[in-house]
Amino acid sequence: MHNIPPDIKNYIKKRTSLKWKLFPQLNKKYEIIVVVPVLAEYENLKVLVESLELCDKVNTSCLVIFVVNNVENASIAVKENNDASYKYLLEKITQQNENFLDFAVVDAYSRNLALDVKNGGVGLARKIGMDLALGCFDYNTPLRKALVCLDADCTVSSNYFDRIKTQFINNNFDAAYLNYNHPLPEDEEKLKAIICYEIFLRFYLLGLSFAGSRFAIQTIGSTMICSPEAYVKVGGMNKRKAAEDFYFMEALAKNYDVHMIKDAFVYPSSRGSWRVPFGTGQRVNRFLEKKQNEYLLYSIKSFKILKEWNTIYLNKGSYSPEELMRKAELIDKHLFDFLSANNFLEDWRKIFKNSKHQDQIDRQKTFWFDGFRTLKLIHYLKDTAYPQQQMFDAVDELLKLFNFASIPSRESNNIPGIETQKRYLSILRNLTNSLT
């Protein structure tokens, strides 16, 4: 562990498992390390590897760690698929020559190395790879290092490594995410499904941005980047079987400014999937199965309430807890009810009592009203007072909040045709990219 910073060295000693190993053993050290969980992705894995190999070369040492994983009681088909993936990666590793990009693999799928059923999932798979990456960085250079997440069913833009180098490393960022676009399938129903889901994702991010939330960030696992120092600061990756990306990015946002790398892209799969209980795959499945009306979005009124609350709550002044509650009730009774149900007054009396400086109080504001509690408020307002709106009516209102002039024409209260839906998606993509 020569030259590894003390905090990182301490994390490695206390919080990493000795059960899983990298193959091959690496003598080289790296500035960019990408971690990819692989679960029954043999065909997609080959496409990803080709995409990575076609990236523009950079004058930086780069490593991709593939964590081939399944739980102990996985089906024979999953284990066989993983075995094929592992053998393919071993072959790629033996073929490696002097290049800017190296590959390594972790066996977290075979007998005695498979993940336990209780904890096994995408969170643990990411954690295994990210923990192992900590010992592979070149800590002798003063530049920031980049610990990057990706998924096996993605591809990336050719400038992927270049932008991580020029924007994340050269700017000394601690937390960031890459841009993303879901590929648009040819099948019309699948196309409608992924457009609907991506509009939902971007609408929520833009709503939070309008409301001045610190948590107006993407939380897509295949786009996440952090420094090794930030990784250990937030306690490493969690072991959640789903939403691991949401909670990890939330933890980063509580401690660091989270930046967007706008002109490099990850292209996540647009398919349905069984791998996690929610997220893209499940939303696509749900749309195709027509279990519920997917063309609904949170009420714009909820984001207006959130904006008023954030303006007061995040103010650097020292409103007392009682004053904040009074102001919340003036904004909206349901906001007041939500804060009451979440013990706001009691918690903040303790925070005020135990904080010696205003800086401590301001920091606690982010920790108390975090990304999850923000989402809970939006859901509470939806369930109690401001029901969801028809998707494209809500988007029209959102665009007006951002002073967008060229709103697509359509009949009100109708789901527009697929070309108009594509136009809406393009507008939201561009508007998201314009955020600072």
**pLDDT tens digit sequence for 379-401:** 999 999 999 999 999 999 999 99
How confident is the model over 141-196, as pLDDT tens digits?
889 999 999 999 999 999 999 999 999 999 999 999 999 999 999 999 899 999 99
Residues 34 and 182 grouped into a single domain: yes
Is 390 inside any structural domain?
no
Is 91 inside any structural domain?
yes
Residues 73 and 158 grouped into a single domain: yes
Residues 43 and 106 grouped into a single domain: yes
The answer to whether the beta carbons of residues 235 and 360 sit under 8 Å apart is: no
pLDDT above 90 coverage of the chain, percent: 82
Highest-confidence segment of 269-273, 413-417, 424-428:
424-428
* Mean pLDDT computed over 279-284: 62
Residues 310 and 245 grouped into a single domain: no
Domain harbouring 54, CATH code = 3.90.550.10
* Mean pLDDT computed over 207-232: 97
Last residue of a domain, one of 355, 384, 413: 384
Measured CA to CA, the distance from residue 412 to residue 416 in angstroms comes to: 9
Would you call 223 exposed, middle or buried from its count of C-beta atoms within 10 A (0-12, 13-18, 19+)? buried
Last residue of a domain, one of 345, 368, 384: 384
Least confident of 191-200, 290-299, 321-330: 290-299
**Neighbouring-strand partners of residue 296:** 390
pLDDT value at position 250?
A: 98
* Mean pLDDT computed over 207-219: 97
How confident is the model over 302-327, as pLDDT tens digits?
999 999 999 999 987 778 999 999 99
> What tokens does 229 get?
């120092």
Residues 264 and 330 grouped into a single domain: no
Is 175 inside any structural domain?
yes
Is 425 inside any structural domain?
no
Is 200 inside any structural domain?
no
Residues 172 and 35 grouped into a single domain: yes
Residues 248 and 363 grouped into a single domain: no
DSSP per-residue letters across 215-253? T-S---GGGEEE-HHHHHHTTS----SSSHHHHHHHHHH
Is 193 inside any structural domain?
no
Is 145 inside any structural domain?
yes
Residues 151 and 43 grouped into a single domain: yes
Residues 265 and 316 grouped into a single domain: no
Residues 252 and 310 grouped into a single domain: no
- Domain holding 304, by residue range, is 300-384
Number of domains in the chain: 2
Residues 222 and 264 grouped into a single domain: yes
> What tokens does 298 get?
């949170």
Q: Find all residues with CB under 8 Å of 404, minimum gap 6, and list them.
A: 427, 431
User: How many other CB atoms are there within 10 angstroms of residue 43's CB atom?
Assistant: 12
Is 132 inside any structural domain?
yes
Residues 156 and 257 grouped into a single domain: yes
**pLDDT-based confidence at residue 288 (cuts at 50, 70, 90):** confident
